[in-house]
Amino acid sequence: MKILLVDDEEELVSTLAERLSLREIDADWVTTGEDALKRVDTENYDLAVLDVKIPKISGIEIKKKLAVKCPDMKFIFMTGHGSEDNFKAGSAEAGPEYYLPKPVSIKTLIKKINDVLRK
């Protein structure tokens, strides 16, 4: 199981990746959409955790592009729930069950990851 974390907050994704690694989940992180798209060229990921609100390319755009490149890839959205619109977009794209509000506890995240991958 290999996971890609995409969030413009480097402090957040790097720590989250480290914590997942401590729980023996292989996780990489990038801070931009471009990096994410480049990274999937060289690595295979089962699942991507995307922040909805990322500068330049939004999480939703990134998901659309990644889905084209990697049809088997699953997605989970994380958001600070900036606005009602953001929330609606996130849950419409991924389904409300794949939506996690920030801050998220590591247990909830891992449970959600397992749930998504099991489907």
Interface with other proteins (CB under 8 A)? 9, 11-12, 15-16, 18-19, 22-23, 53, 80-84, 101-106
Residue 1 or 106 with smaller CB distance to other proteins? 106
The whole-angstrom separation of Cα 58 and Cα 110 is 23
Give least dist CB 82 to other proteins, A.
4
Q: How far is the CB of 72 from other proteins (least distance, A)?
A: 28
Tell me if 81 sits within 8 A of 87, measured CB to CB: yes
Q: Smallest distance from the beta carbon of 86 to other proteins, in angstroms? A: 8
> H helices within 4-105, ranges in order?
10-22, 33-42, 59-69, 84-94
Measured between alpha carbons, how far is 71 from 109 in angstroms, rounded to an integer?
22
Task: Decide whether 106 or 117 has the Cβ nearer to other proteins.
Answer: 106
Closest CB to other proteins among residues 17, 116: 17
Q: Whole-number minimum distance, CB 34 to other proteins, in Å?
A: 21
Our CB check for other proteins shows the closer of 18 and 69 to be: 18
- Angstrom distance (rounded) from CA 7 to CA 59: 8
d(CA 60, CA 66): 10
